[in-house]
Amino acid sequence: MVEELWKELSSIDSVEAIALGGSRAGSDFDEKSDYDVYIYCIDEITEDTRTTILQKYCSHIEIGNHFWEYEDNCTLNNGVDIDILYRNLDEFAEGIAVVVEKYQAQNGYTTCMWHNLCTCKIIYDRNGRLTKLQKKYNIKYPKQLGKNIIDRNMKLLRYAMPAYEVQIAKAAKRNDLVSINHRVTEFMASYFDVIFAINGLTHPGEKRLIELCEKRCQVLPENFRENIEKMFCDMFANTDFLNKDVDKIVSALEKIVER
């Protein structure tokens, strides 16, 4: 079924390339794993055209969602969800270059799009441009990029005046649970960005990060899993201990950064 869908989508003149991401791009998936599909377009594909094609293969369709990237979110007739994201290849390439060639760090998730490019499975590539781009950036992790990610995100974790550690402490003192939740989320985004940078690995995204770090990273902070799980246990039930939990996490991270 999905092969027929790829064939129909690739027949659209403005479609330049199609790639499969997420677990479906590798071997770690089962029959219930979602499909993450990236359609690289020269021009916009009309919603009517997409609807006409997708309604043949999907039992539920949401066309043109734009909460993150521009995408269609659907459920295939076999019950498996599929997210189809529409991108401009030139703009995507520019975003990768800013990170990999100009070493520009972000507030967490810096190398996620680079990871997406390197690990995607290309299933259609009309002019070979996506394949060429993938080969271009299949390179060793730049040391300067790693340094910039570590510098920026360590400041956000502890060293800058608006550091997350400070903001979490303030939220805990007020027992502001919504603020605690929000700040801890941002804290963890920067934390994992530093860990992947230290290990010279691209960031795989937001899912199963503890397990992936334990599997792939050669260098991890002391009591890595234990400290994270303790913080999450205390976030709402024992906010008086939250400051100490955060301090342990950042202090352990500092040690491997210094090393």
pLDDT tens by residue, 196-249: 999 999 999 998 999 999 999 999 999 999 999 999 999 999 889 999 999 999
pLDDT at residue 57 greater than cutoff 60? yes
pLDDT at residue 191 greater than cutoff 60? yes
Q: What letter does residue 45 receive in the DSSP assignment?
A: P
CA dist., res. 182 & res. 235, Å (int): 11
Place of tokens 């991401």: 21
Mean pLDDT of all residues in 97-103: 98
At residue 28, the pLDDT reads 59
**Which SS3 state, helix, strand or coil, does residue 13 take?**
coil
At residue 27, the pLDDT reads 54
User: CA 94 → CA 25, 88, 111, distances in Å?
Assistant: 23, 10, 13
Q: Exposed, middle or buried: residue 61 (CB in 10 Å: 0-12, 13-18, 19+)?
A: middle
pLDDT at residue 24 greater than cutoff 70? no
Same domain for 95 and 128, yes or no, is yes
Mean pLDDT of all residues in 110-127: 96
Mean pLDDT of all residues in 250-254: 98
- β-partners of residue 121 are 20
Same domain for 57 and 95, yes or no, is yes
Same domain for 115 and 147, yes or no, is no
The residue range of the domain holding 81 is 2-136
CA dist., res. 59 & res. 76, Å (int): 6
At residue 2, the pLDDT reads 84
| Chosen domain end from 92, 108, 136 | 136
| Arithmetic mean of pLDDT over the chain | 94
Which of the four pLDDT bands, split at 50, 70 and 90, describes residue 26?
A: low
At residue 9, the pLDDT reads 95
Q: What is the pLDDT of residues 129-154, one digit of tens each?
A: 999 999 999 999 999 999 999 999 99
Number of domains the chain contains: 2
Which of the four pLDDT bands, split at 50, 70 and 90, describes residue 33?
A: confident
Same domain for 204 and 130, yes or no, is no
Same domain for 130 and 214, yes or no, is no
Tell me the residue type at 21: G
Same domain for 121 and 58, yes or no, is yes
